Structure 1
Amino acid sequence: MLRNKHNIFTITAMVLVAVISQSCSKASASSERRYDFPNIFDISYTPDTLHRHYGLFTDAGSWIGFTPPEKDKWINGFCGPYSIDMNRREWLAKCAVTVSGMDSGISLKDSVCYYPGELVISSEYKNGAITQRLNFIDANTMLLTIDNSLPGGLAFTGDGWAAEMKLSQTGNSVISVHPTGETVVITFPQNVKLNVDNGNYQANAPHQNRSYVSVAFFCSPEEAYAGLNKSVDVLENPLSALESNKLRWEGYLTSTLRDDMPAEYDRIAVKAMTTLASNHRAARGGLLHDGIIPSHAVGYFVGLWAWDSWRFCAGAASFDPELAKNNIRAMFDYQQPDGMIIDCIYTDPAENNARDSKPPLVCWAVDKIYEATGDKEFLAEMYPQLMSYYKWWYAKRDHDRNGMCEYGSTDGTLEAAAWESGMDNAIRFDDVEMLANDGYDDAWSMNQESVDLNAYLAHECGFLKKFAGILGEKFDAPDYGDKVADYFFDSRRNFFFDRKIKDSTFVGDPGCEAYTMLWTGIATPEQVAKMMPLLTDTAKFSTYIPFPTVAADNPKYNPRGYWRGPIWLDQTYFAISGLRNYGYDDLADAYTRQVFDRLEGLKEGLPIHENYDTHTGKPLKAPHFSWSASHLIMLYKEYTGK
């Protein structure tokens, strides 16, 4: 029935996909669902500087990525690899493997296509064509498949190696080592003649309709030499390796997609899922478990943040629950003796930030994983650590011991306390002061109790009680959930606000922190009914893209002001999902359609961004952003189409 209600949208989307498909290389005659989603992203880029890119094709937790070349700067090969690690981000080669026909001449037409989990480039010549497909087999190994309808053989070489790279040959493999130790290994089949000389390599292959080349990446030469056999095995069993990739991505798509949604909304869900998969990074250095970073396209986001991770895990739980579990484990690897979960962690632990924590949503994420898997062992593993973190808030972030907590820091700085809120420069913090908490030298609080924090804690408490029941444990922790709704509701303005510790006055102007009360279900139905005039006012919160971070008519509203105006999709999700909790499904669906239909580039090739302009839907900060993607998946899953 849902498709009948949106058949116009569906037909439009089908026409769009058909047009897009004409510009892609022809997919194999396969039933793979990925081929229903051509050009999911436009990331074409031919490197002209060491550090610049706009997004990468990367998968399976790999620490490298590739791009298809730009048409006006064509290279007949995938550009890269690019090293993603925060402390050293650069192109290791302009193109590590270029492919040409020995007698092909100049190409007549070149095209690229990005399918979920597969990158394709194709060049047509007078007497045939060469099509290349790139798939990640695992975090270390990629497989390049070359289909050749030209009459002659193929020639391979590298183009534009980073100046410091040293190339050598071992068997039929090219070993390329950067001074940092990062190593790229290119392995050819035994029937290919390989020569490494003068800082590059040349490889000639006899004519075959289909050829394979393995490209592998390692953090050190020692790892590379130990992993050479894997590259050889992949070349000896390429169909098995590709089948593994196919099954993994078919599983992702099947787990993500509904069978009753408009095609254009399916495309948004696949784009969001692919964003999370592209931001998966394998355990490395100080990251002791796999996890999802905020964005591979922005250097300062190559690490794991606490509340980011909880959101990512909630989004990934349905299609890759093992990754979600490991992401949670990665953050808890650094749990402090007092129970605190620190703000963020990196491959280099010296970069970790333990000055603050982040809003507590981890039990929600663990519950999403449990609901997807029924894994009681994971619950039992995490429960003591979750309890310790939950209790930490009441021990070190409740200044006056009244059961209502504050954001704060370990070093007494307002900067770190604002970071702990996750809403760094929010208007409600403009007049905050810091207070030392008695009995500790590492516990400071803002001088105001935050409505969102206490709603989160009440929500987490409910999940902890659920887990305790499942595991047969006794729940023994603070529980103030029944007091939160009345405590933070201003009956004069009919909205939820933070409160000052000193005199309990309500703080600031209406903002997104109030959405949390709806999403957690802590608000009473009567309170929500009283909020509706503000929430549905088109001058305030019911904007072109709904639910900005502060009412759009606030004098301090700034359309590009980070947490002082733009749309953050987690907050928009909290509001929309919260409306569903109180029976406003029609309104929630209408707002979901506004998000899906109005965010610029969402249905086309633009990446999903960190935040968006409230009044235009134009993307603002970091592209390929995981938490926006995660909440788009949840909006898609919860949409009813009424």
Structure 2
Amino acid sequence: MFHNFYRSFLFSVLVLGFTACDQSSHSVEESKRYQFEKLFDIAYTPDTETGANGWFTDAGSWMGFTIPEKKEWVNGFCGPFSLDMNRRQWLAKSAVTVGFAGFGNDLFISDSTNYYPGEIYLSAHSANGRISQTLHFIDASNALLTIGTDENKALMFTGDQWCDEMEIKTNRNFVTARHPSGEIVLLTFGPDILVQESGNNYKAVGNGSNKETQVVISFFTSDKELAAGLQKSMNILNDQHICLLENEKRWNGYLTKVLRADMDPEYDRIAVKSVVTLISNWRTHRGGLLHEGVVPSHAVGYFVGFWAWDSWRFSAALAKFNPELAKNNIRAMFDYQLPDGMIVDCIYTDPSENNGRDSKPPLVCWAVDEIFTNTNDTAFVREMFPQLMAYYNWWYLKRDHNRNGKCEYGSTDGTLEAAAWESGMDNAIRFDDARMLKNNPFEDAWSMDQESIDLNAFLALESRLLKKFANMLDIPFEGADYSDKVADYFFDKNNRFFFDRRLADGKFIKEYGCEAYAPLWTKVATPDQVAQMLPLLEDTTKFSTYIPFPTVAADNPKYNPKGYWRGPIWLDQTYFAIRGLRNYGYSKKADEYTLQVFDRLQGLKDDAPIHENYDTHSGERLKAPHFSWSAAHLLMLYDDYGKVFNE
């Protein structure tokens, strides 16, 4: 009840504030975020037995927060937490806790908590009254905490358990908490709040005249950033209603662009969770990351960087609702393009950690084309075209061992490990017997001794799109084109399936796997080949499993339902198969398989995070939570559902 009242009150204030400051504005669109509640369970109080399973973060910020656990209640959002791969640490148990002034250790009991798109909420009560709190990110550096109460009592604020290395200082209405790493938390209070140091902490007390109070929580990585950000935090307090309205408009924009009027609400929820997952993994430029982009998962430290084929997928999904982020996500990877055209595997805030031993499958022209389709931005296509062309040509220069126009996955250091990474399918069964070959005369070019169907199908799509871009820009296409040779070369007529081929003798590597979905998705396969494959794809012992289209056929003796790329469901591959069927006129089947995914993945309709991969036979969540590429492909499945495509 209190939450509904407070929510309505806050939105009314936003509308009034906006109207007062901009009389020329059009009507304010009704908020969509409150149609989607309890999206994710991120309850975690630092220092308890269970580990955090994700953070609330937004707008590219490198700080995150959790909602306190009821059994270990703190009357404030927990954090901030530093989200960098090299600096994953709680900077405070709670930088801002709230109580009533003059009542000592007032015991608060949780009433309700919630996670909406772009907002977290909590409400708690003590013997002295009820307090509610909401948190919204205004930009990458600043989050606005709004506190409301139904009592005419002064509020008191203090930090709870700053990490040991933090040094806390106050100056007027600012609290500065410094870490030796250079990271700084700044708290900005309004002029009606009295702020004082209290040991290595602070205490701030209001005058009791306001039922609503705001605090800006800011996060910086240097004194230079702090100096530039001080004025911004004060401006946010002064223009709090406008800032909150902009947050509301931003999230309404995301949801309006993504949601369909003809879908069931339970599937709308999946789409919204996917959007929130992608946005929560958004990071602004920092250190060696020269442009903003999206990390695979903020919840897992080793995934806090930008990967090449991950980025292409994220940008393809973001193109519809945040195209500027999609563009910068691509630019970030091309910031490190090598002189020969290679795009390295992954990049980090610390460039010494970048992995240049391998690249990743070429899907970037697809992402650029999705951006163009949604924006008509020919300037971006023109900007990227020379770099896209150089990357495309690099594959034929340094990954075509026998110069027959069919490329192989490989590495710069000659290791099979890095070559498997280049495929993106690290431990795939099809690579079990692979060997490495030197691609003379280059010192940094090695190939596996097998040509891969998925790689060459992707290159065929890249070629088709590069020709489209060249024609659009009136620029010549100066590259090899073997796209018309891929389908027949890799299709085994006897076994009615696409396989990799061994370089030495041209024999098919007869492992039935997800790489065969790529020629359907890229429209490289002929209709007759797809028709021949269909009985295998529909076989419930192979590919038409409980969750459809695993990474290898489920009857393979080496199949392992928890074996990373040796059995589990990866939603990008499931998407390639389903969209591939749709491409060839099998729309009804594609819809049926889409609903199997939506209805059977554990926790997808509830408050569980979207995971890296899933068990084929149960839908059990596996590996990393809050996983961006799973979210990206769920959005694509949602957008495709019910549509009919012709080849």
TM-score, shorter chain, exceeding 0.5: yes
Matched, 1:629 2:641: no
| 2: CA distance, partners of 1:363 / 1:49 | 46
1:48-447 mapped onto 2 (5 Å cutoff): 48=47, 52-102=51-101, 105-107=106-108, 109-125=110-126, 128-207=129-208, 208-447=210-449
* Match in the other structure for 2:584: 582
Moved over 3 A (4+): 21-27, 49-52, 103-109, 124-128
SS in 1 for 2:247: helix
Normalised TM-score (structure 1): 0.95
**Which residue matches 2:15?**
none
Of 105-114 and 238-247, deviating more is 105-114
Range with greater deviation from structure 2 (445-454 or 194-203): 194-203
For residues 641 and 393 of structure 1, the distance between their equivalents in structure 2, rounded to whole angstroms, comes to 34
Q: Which SS does the other structure have where 1:195 is aligned?
A: strand
**1:83-137 CA deviation, whole Å, 9 max, x = no partner?**
0000110100000000112367544542110000001011134564211010000
Are 2:33 and 1:38 equivalent residues in the alignment?
no
CA deviation map 1:219-256 (0-9, x unaligned): 01232133111111111110011111111111111111
Aligned residue pairs, count: 622
How many Å apart are 1:148 and its aligned residue?
1.2
8 Å CA contact 1:109–1:125 kept in 2: the answer is no
How big is the shift at 1:293? Answer: 0.1
User: In structure 1, what is the Cα distance between the partners aligned to 2:108 and 2:200?
Assistant: 27
Question: The residue matched to 2:217 in structure 1 has which SS?
Answer: strand
3-state SS of the aligned residue for 1:28? helix
Letter in 2 for 1:226: A
SS of the residue aligned with 1:560? coil
Task: Indicate the SS of the match to 1:350.
Answer: helix
Cα 1:519/1:285, change in 2 over 3 Å: same
Contact 2:100–2:128 (8 Å) recurs in 1: no
After superposition, give the CA deviation of every residue in 1:342-377 in whole Å (9 maximum; x if it has no partner): 000000000000000000000000000000100011
SS of the residue corresponding to residue 84 of structure 2 reads coil
Over residues 311-361 of structure 1, what are the superposed CA-to-partner deviations in whole Å (9 max), with x where a residue is unaligned? 010111111000000010000000000000000000000000000000000
After TM superposition, the structure 1 stretch with the greater mean CA deviation from structure 2, 605-614 or 254-263, is 254-263
| Aligned amino acid, residue 224 of structure 1 | L
Per-residue Cα deviation, 1:411-442 (whole angstroms, up to 9, x for no partner): 10000000000000000000000000111000
Q: CA deviation at 1:180?
A: 0.2
**Unmatched 5+ stretches in structure 2:** 12-29
What stretches of structure 1 of length at least 5 have no aligned partner? 1-20
User: Which SS does the other structure have where 1:564 is aligned?
Assistant: coil
Give 1:26 shift.
6.0
1:629, distance to aligned residue in structure 2 (A):
0.2
- Contact persistence 1:66–1:82 (CA under 8 A): yes
Q: Which amino acid in the other structure matches residue 162 of structure 2?
A: W
Distance (Å, rounded) in 1 between the aligned partners of 2:571 and 2:608: 16
Structure 2 equivalent of residue 15 of structure 1: none
Cα distance in structure 1, aligned partners of 2:5 and 2:169: 34
* Contact kept in structure 1, 2:152 and 2:211, CA below 8 Å: no
Q: Deviations over 1:9-52 (max 9, x none)?
A: xxxxxxxxxxxx99999632653100000111111100117994
> How far apart are 1:530 and its partner, in Å?
0.4
TM-score of the aligned structures, taking structure 2 as reference length: 0.94
Backbone CA RMSD of aligned residues: 1.6
Which residue does the alignment assign to 2:7? 27
Q: Deviations over 1:435-480 (max 9, x none)?
A: 0011100000000000000000000001101101111111111000
* Alpha-carbon distance, 1:151 to partner: 2.2
Is 1:120–1:133's contact at 8 Å kept on the other side of the alignment? yes
The answer for the alignment partner of 1:517 in structure 2 is 519
- Given that residues 177 and 221 in structure 1 are in contact (C-alpha distance below 8 angstroms), is that contact kept between their aligned partners in structure 2? no
Aligned counterpart, 1:12: none
Which residue of 452, 455, 459 corresponds with 1:453?
A: 455
Partner SS for 1:458: helix
Q: Structure 1 residue 617 and structure 2 residue 630: aligned?
A: no
Does structure 2 retain, via aligned residues, the 8 Å contact 1:86–1:302?
yes
Question: 1:594 corresponds to which residue?
Answer: 596
* Cα separation, partners in 2 of 1:549 and 1:23, compared to 1, 3 Å: farther
Secondary structure of the residue aligned to 1:561 is coil
Letter in 1 for 2:54: G
What letter corresponds to residue 28 of structure 1 in structure 2? S
1:639 corresponds, among 623, 638, 641, to 641
More moved, 498-507 vs 144-153: 144-153
